[in-house]
Chains A and B, each alone.
Chain A
Amino acid sequence: MTITRTKLGVLGVIAGSLLFAGQANAAECEDLVLGAAISLTGKYATNGIHAQNGYEFAIKKIDEAGGVKVGDKCYNFKVTYYDDESKGDRGATLAERLINQDKVQYMLGPYSSGLTKAIAPVTEKYQIPMVEAEGASRSLFNKGYKYLFAVLSTSEQYLASAITLAAEQAEKEGKKASDVKVAIAVENDPFSLDIRAGVMEDAAKVGMQIVIDEKLPRDLSDMSSILTKVKLLKPDVLIVSGHSKGAATAVRQIGEMKISVPMIALTHCEAADVVGNFGDFANDILCSTQWAETLTYKDELFGSAAEYDTEFKSTYTEYANKTVPYQTAQASAAVYVFADAFERAGTLDKEAVRDAIAQTDLSTFYGDIRFSDAGNNIAKPMVLRQIQNGEYKVVAPSAFASDPLNWPRN
């Protein structure tokens, strides 16, 4: 930790110093090429572009801070991009092209778990270190991959913290955690099933009962039959995950049917814009997110999360009136991990760099980053935000909470 801090501290000092000097420095540095297949077209295009902007923003910041010092030389990152068209087979082909024809030695990840799943076997085969920021499914991390590293929290953690929160509340009330009843309704797809698995595991640890465990269909438009069971069985926690449509349907029908459950936790609240669409119905609902600009994380390169947010918006003006998506923030963090690993490795040898990445122990604006043997980030918790009077307020984990939890709901 300390080593990292000092080295990047140097970066920070340079960044803080005269901008002109920084640029002069950057001009002397050589290019260090990373490769990335990213979805610029196709169904993931929106988020693919968010990720690409995140990469480019981080590269620009590192340039301005004087580049990456490897031994006694300095380098600037440069990324060779290809468009994977949001298709797995295309992504795998492009990864091979990057490695065989463009002779890329280091890769940044694509967007989505599916694309990462397609590309990871290729990078593994050619022993190319890949730091990815957008593939959350934990099935990526049980294949024994050695060259795959992910800065984001895996998807089973998305709502597991809601269980911890419920247990804390139960104890505050003088009840036992094992008295808490949990209802789960998740979509029948890999991402949401991962979320379910995480919730189940955490609930089992403290002995909570699962009273409802249902899977939502792909084309969900009505979940009143589940909510009726919720009325009958009176769980203390209701967990729903089904992308935007799940969030929208849940919030609407919870409001209409006046479901009173002390705690309701969802994913994709922001994407479904539940506040804009359903107003008061959304109040006091918990939503999970990888990162929020209101968090207290900070580092020397980007500053605090809030500073990242403002600076990114001034660089990419098309985001001026929107929130900066967490997809962008984590992409920047991935580039930062590479910069840090190169400096610590002190060489461009890819095995040494791989080992340096594996030993990463970094505090960033995006959160702490430390990899498990499987390559996933185990240091950064997911954040739960509660919708309080139409605004998203961080309520858990308690270290970052900006506001107290409203409990019980209604």
Chain B
Amino acid sequence: MDQIMGNLGLLFEFPVVNLKIIIDGVMIGALFALAAYGLALVWGVMNVKNLAQGDFVIAGGYIAWWVAGLGVPALFGVPLAFIIMWGIGWVIYKLVITRVIERDLFTSLLATFGIAIMMAQLLNLMFGSDTQSVNLGYETLFFFDGFVDVPIAKLIGVCMATVLAICVIVFMKFSRMGQAIRATSQDARAARVLGIDTEKVYAFTFSLNAAICGAAGAIIVMVWVIQPFYGITYAIRAFVIVTAAGLGNLPGVIAAGLGIGALEQYGSHIFGIGYQQAIAVLLLLLVLVFRMIQQRRSRQVLK
């Protein structure tokens, strides 16, 4: 208790710390938002709740780490992870996901859970269980007497995440395939009637999701560390954000991602970093209860 009061006190004693916490939160939140956006896509378009989301992120990270080890400049890891994860996503779609789409909702949760533990263990067998990271060797920028630090690597990561997000948004809005995806998510049957090859749309969407996650992972490995079994962290955040923001609500996903990033940073400052995971999960429960109350008013349940 004393520690909590002390930590709260620090926030008022050094107001600049608030700025630092918010900047850090937004940085990590941007990456959460990427993974969540991918999840919102597959959930909205084909009603697949992908528990392997986090493992796609980690796999992307390992791809970037691996090519960096081969001497490729680390920043190229991001597009490479995007492309390779696209392929892996496509293979997983063809092997498993295509058979899950029309089934009941629980099926996709469990099937992707199976994929998740397979991927985590395969990564463990291939790369070992030690934590890995890519060190870009860039400087850190300091503001406010060194209290606020912004490593350039983090800045680059956030910029890349933003660019990726903008590309995806533009693609979804203006390209033929993007329109087909949005049409399918609104009404798959109508889309089929109108001549859209929904099977192709599904495959494309799932691969795109894997690729976005892979790129996010490649950014994460440059800024933080990864380990084969860290996937669950990102999967939980993605579910929290999508549940909070709802499907097909891109600005909502980004806002929720940044908000949850900041809230988590505040939470771990006040209660201690050991509560980070608990805070994320409790936020999820809060969001669920809140949405439930909303639904109850209209005598409905959260389906």
What 0/1 pattern do residues 266 to 284 of A give for CB contact below 8 A with B? 0000011000011100000
16 A-B pairs in the complex with CB atoms less than 8 angstroms apart: A188-B274, A213-B3, A216-B273, A217-B273, A221-B226, A221-B230, A221-B233, A222-B24, A229-B10, A229-B269, A231-B147, A244-B131, A245-B227, A256-B149, A257-B140, A257-B151
A252/B225 contact (C-beta < 8 A), A225-B21, A232-B14 known: yes
Q: Which A residues are in CB contact (< 8 Å) with B147?
A: 228, 231-232
Which of A220, A229, A248 has a CB less than 8 Å from the CB of B133? A248
A226 to B17, CA, bound (A): 12
Docked complex: B257-284 residues within 8 A CB-CB of A: 265, 268-269, 272-274, 276-277
Q: Which A residues are in CB contact (< 8 Å) with B233?
A: 219, 221
Q: Could you tell me the dominant secondary structure of chain B's interface residues?
A: helix
Docked complex: B124-177 residues within 8 A CB-CB of A: 129-131, 133, 135, 140, 142, 146-147, 149, 151, 153
Q: Which B residues are in CB contact (< 8 Å) with A93?
A: none
CB–CB A258/B274 < 8 A: no
- 9 further A-B contacts with Cβ under 8 Å, apart from A222-B28, A256-B140, are A215-B273, A217-B277, A221-B224, A225-B24, A225-B265, A225-B273, A245-B227, A257-B140, A258-B140
Docked complex: A196-220 residues within 8 A CB-CB of B: 213-217, 219-220
CB–CB B28/A214 < 8 A: no
Whole-angstrom distance between the Cβ of B265 and the nearest chain A Cβ: 6
CB–CB A228/B269 < 8 A: yes
What 0/1 pattern do residues 222 to 255 of B give for CB contact below 8 A with A? 0011110110110000000000000000000000
CB–CB A248/B131 < 8 A: yes
Docked complex: A64-90 residues within 8 A CB-CB of B: none
Q: Which A residues are in CB contact (< 8 Å) with B142?
A: 258
The range of chain A's interface size is 20 to 34
CB–CB A245/B140 < 8 A: no
CB–CB A219/B277 < 8 A: yes
Whole-angstrom distance between the Cβ of A75 and the nearest chain B Cβ: 40
Instruction: Confirm or deny: A223 has a beta carbon within 8 angstroms of a beta carbon on chain B.
Output: yes
Instruction: Confirm or deny: A294 has a beta carbon within 8 angstroms of a beta carbon on chain B.
Output: no
Which of A214, A271, A272, A277 has a CB less than 8 Å from the CB of B273? A214
What 0/1 pattern do residues 63 to 78 of B give for CB contact below 8 A with A? 0000000000000000
Q: Which A residues are in CB contact (< 8 Å) with B277?
A: 217, 219
Instruction: Confirm or deny: A139 has a beta carbon within 8 angstroms of a beta carbon on chain B.
Output: no
CB–CB A232/B10 < 8 A: yes
Instruction: Confirm or deny: A249 has a beta carbon within 8 angstroms of a beta carbon on chain B.
Output: yes
A217/B274 contact (C-beta < 8 A), A228-B20, A256-B140, A272-B131 known: yes
Q: Which A residues are in CB contact (< 8 Å) with B226?
A: 221
Whole-angstrom distance between the Cβ of A249 and the nearest chain B Cβ: 6
Q: Which A residues are in CB contact (< 8 Å) with B129?
A: 43
A252/B24 contact (C-beta < 8 A), A225-B265, A225-B268 known: no
CB–CB A229/B7 < 8 A: yes
Which of A185, A219, A233, A244 has a CB less than 8 Å from the CB of B232? A219
Q: Which B residues are in CB contact (< 8 Å) with A233?
A: 10
Q: Which A residues are in CB contact (< 8 Å) with B133?
A: 248, 252, 277
Whole-angstrom distance between the Cβ of B218 and the nearest chain A Cβ: 15
Q: Which A residues are in CB contact (< 8 Å) with B227?
A: 219, 245
Q: Which A residues are in CB contact (< 8 Å) with B269?
A: 225, 228-229
Instruction: Confirm or deny: A224 has a beta carbon within 8 angstroms of a beta carbon on chain B.
Output: yes
A233 to B17, CA, bound (A): 12
Whole-angstrom distance between the Cβ of B7 and the nearest chain A Cβ: 7
A216 to B272, CA, bound (A): 8
A259 to B28, CA, bound (A): 21
CB–CB B224/A222 < 8 A: yes
A225 to B271, CA, bound (A): 11
